[in-house]
Amino acid sequence: MSQKYRVAFVELDNTTTAEEVVTNLSTKLKISPQKAASFLANKPLFAAADKTKCLKQVKLLASLGVQAKLVAIEESAPQTSIQQQKDERVFEALDYITSSLIRIEERLEELEQRLPEQAHEPQEQDSPQWQEEELFNELELDIEPSEKVPARKVQYALGAVLVLLLIVLALAIMYPHWFSLN
């Protein structure tokens, strides 16, 4: 990428006054007198351009009685685009974490709704006669009954995961440089 320059005001020639320069600049460049006066107060008059174009602008200003110089401008556009990409990645990660938290919350609600139903089902159901008879004796098949994981332990584990994800989310928001992907 080529280097960009800007024309900066240095001083007026001894033969011209500020009022003459303002009127000459405003008529020659077809700009407002306020903008021409702001150039004399070290505000930019022209947009940043390549070196040859800026040298032509300096020559034009010299013909109008203004001494100007070229000032190199640092290109900050790539840095901002890199920062924007990092910000987008952070927002995508936050969006993913948020959607994951919502799914976990929905899953917890499902489990909460199932638990009371499962506790009341055996008492409320009227089982037919054939279901009451045992078709297989557990001792004959040497099958060990599977231990049920207590529902509270599952809820606590999911709650702990939820809290951990919230802590990671808070740290990512407060200290994004810790989670940069560079």
Residue 81 has pLDDT above 60, yes or no: yes
Kindly give, in sequence order, each residue whose CB lies less than 8 Å from that of residue 11, ignoring residues fewer than 6 positions away: 67
CATH architecture designation of domain 4-73: 2-Layer Sandwich (3.30)
Question: Tell me, what's the pLDDT at 163?
Answer: 94
How many CB atoms within 10 Å of residue 101?
A: 15
Question: Tell me, what's the pLDDT at 123?
Answer: 53
Give the CA radius of gyration of the chain: 38
Question: Tell me, what's the pLDDT at 73?
Answer: 85
CA quadruple 16, 17, 22, 24: dihedral positive or negative?
negative
Question: DSSP character for 47?
Answer: -
List, for residues 157-172, the tens digit of each pLDDT value. Answer: 999 999 999 999 999 8
At residue 83, what are phi and psi to the nearest 5 degrees? -65, -40
Task: State the DSSP string of 96-123.
Answer: HHHHHHHHHHHHHHHHHHHHHHHHHHHH
Percent of the chain exceeding pLDDT 70 equals 76
Residue 153 has pLDDT above 90, yes or no: no
Residue 101 has pLDDT above 80, yes or no: yes
Residue 10 has pLDDT above 70, yes or no: yes
124, with CB counted inside 10 A (0-12, 13-18, 19+), is: exposed
Query: With bands split at pLDDT 50, 70 and 90, how would you rate the model's confidence at 146?
Result: low
pTM: 0.41
What residue ranges do the domains of the chain occupy?
A: 4-73, 77-116+148-182
Question: Tell me, what's the pLDDT at 148?
Answer: 65
**Once rounded to an integer, what is the mean pLDDT over residues 15-38?**
88
The β-bridge relationship of strands 66-73 and 4-12 is antiparallel
Residue 33 has pLDDT above 70, yes or no: yes
For residue 80, give the 3-state DSSP assignment. helix
At residue 9, what are phi and psi to the nearest 5 degrees? -70, 135
Distance CA 39, CA 19 (A): 13
Query: With bands split at pLDDT 50, 70 and 90, how would you rate the model's confidence at 136?
Result: low
